[in-house]
């Protein structure tokens, strides 16, 4: 039987190159080998954005348009919206009965995010129970493989724990999912920090030429390389980090920088060309997809129907085993 992959993203709107190289490239590879379920986690978005939900739906459309633009194929994969499959919430409730509060307080991401996110009050039940909802998402589809970054491994361990507990109490229903570690998702942003929309340092998928020019010009470079002939240190330079990923000839660029054969102005000009070439087809495809709102909505509706079929089946088994 073909193994099942589950993965999700919170709908935060348009995606950036960090999402592409950190997550989507892998999703595209997986879709030719496995049965893949990719979800817009709009219920999860509520855990932090509960006071203003006005952008969540539009953000889902933009995000799914980006998935399709880069090559996630709705004919091969199931693309859907969490809130339209009510079984997620039902399983979340059932699993929450088996979850000791102490275990949730111990989750490293809970502590970290409480520290980091200062502009919203996160002392709520939903935020604490985030890993339980995530477990419900994964277990509902009896997923075998879940692609995750290092920071999500603890959540997957939690999912296996809760699956073991449930299976132990009531009978073997859940498959214990395995993580597939995605390679370092740390893609540098314009200012040298991790690329993130909250830092306002991203290059978005489909950015046009003028935007690219503006963004590349603002990229952080080696502060010690002022004149063209100065010896450069490419390893601390954002322009070089982009070259390493997008330019097949990056070793040559490294050498030219280190030996003062190229200056930052011309190095940036060449990166603009490389990025434009990479982005042009994406930008054109994205424009067509986003203009056809009906198409994206149909993809989501079909995906939700397919996801519901599986989710319903699992919930029927659960009802039976729980003697409801």
Go through 232-261 and write b for each residue having 16 or more CB atoms within 10 A of its CB, e for each that does not: bebeebbbbbbbeeebeebeebbebbeeee
In whole angstroms, the minimum distance from the beta carbon of 248 to ligand SF4 comes to 16
- Residue 225 touching ligand SF4 (CB under 6 A): yes
- Residue 239 touching ligand SF4 (CB under 6 A): yes
- Residue 240 touching ligand SF4 (CB under 6 A): yes
- Residue 147 touching ligand SF4 (CB under 6 A): no
Go through 147-182 and write b for each residue having 16 or more CB atoms within 10 A of its CB, e for each that does not: bbeeebebbbebbbbbbeebeeeeeebbbbbebbeb
121: which DSSP letter? -
- Residue 222 touching ligand SF4 (CB under 6 A): yes
Residue closer to ligand SF4 (CB basis): 203 or 289 = 203
- Residue 216 touching ligand SF4 (CB under 6 A): no
The whole-angstrom distance between residue 45's C-alpha and the CA centroid of its chain comes to 13
Go through 9-48 and write b for each residue having 16 or more CB atoms within 10 A of its CB, e for each that does not: bbbbebbbbbbbbbbbebbbebbeebbbbbbbbbbbbbbb
Residue closer to ligand SF4 (CB basis): 29 or 269 = 269
| Footprint (CB under 6 A) of ligand SF4, residues 260-319 | 262, 264, 267-268
The tokens for 266 are 């011309």
The stretch among 162-170, 208-216, 237-245, 316-324 that binds ligand SF4 (CB under 6 A) is: 237-245
Interacting residue with ligand SF4 among 134, 237, 290, 300 (CB under 6 A): 237
Binders of ligand SF4: how many residues, by CB under 6 A? 13
Chain residues in the site for ligand SF4 (CB under 6 A): 221-222, 225, 232, 234, 237, 239-240, 257, 262, 264, 267-268
């Amino acid at each position: 039987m073909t193994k099942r992959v589950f993965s999700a993203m919170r709908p935060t709107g348009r995606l950036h190159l960090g999402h592409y190289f950190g997550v989507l490239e892998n999703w595209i590879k997986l879709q030719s080998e496995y049965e893949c379920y990719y979800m817009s986690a709009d219920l999860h978005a509520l855990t932090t954005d509960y006071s203003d939900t006005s952008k969540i739906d539009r953000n889902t459309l933009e995000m799914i348009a980006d998935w399709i633009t880069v090559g996630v194929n709705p004919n091969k994969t199931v693309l859907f919206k969490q809130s339209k499959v009510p079984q997620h919430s039902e399983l979340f409730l059932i699993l929450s009965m088996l979850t000791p509060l102490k275990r949730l307080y111990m989750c490293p991401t809970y502590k970290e995010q409480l520290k980091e996110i200062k502009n919203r009050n996160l002392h709520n039940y939903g935020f604490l129970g985030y890993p339980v909802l995530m477990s419900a998402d994964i277990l509902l589809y009896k997923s075998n493989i879940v692609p995750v970054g290092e920071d999500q491994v603890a959540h997957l361990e939690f999912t296996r724990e809760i699956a073991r507990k449930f299976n132990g109490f009531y009978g073997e229903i859940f498959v214990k999912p395995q993580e597939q570690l995605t390679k370092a998702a740390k893609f540098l942003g314009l200012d040298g920090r991790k690329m993130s929309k909250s830092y306002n340092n991203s290059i978005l998928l489909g950015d046009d030429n003028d935007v690219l020019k503006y963004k590349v010009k603002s990229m952080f470079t080696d502060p010690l390389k002022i004149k063209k002939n100065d010896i450069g240190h490419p390893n601390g330079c954002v322009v070089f980090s982009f070259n390493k990923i997008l330019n097949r000839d990056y070793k040559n660029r490294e050498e030219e920088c280190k030996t003062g054969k190229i200056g930052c102005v011309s190095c940036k000009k060449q990166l603009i060309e490389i990025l434009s070439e990479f982005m042009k087809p994406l930008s054109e495809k994205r424009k067509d997809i986003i203009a056809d709102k009906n198409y994206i909505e149909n993809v989501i509706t079909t995906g939700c129907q397919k996801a519901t079929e599986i989710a319903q089946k699992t919930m029927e088994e659960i009802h039976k085993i729980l003697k409801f």
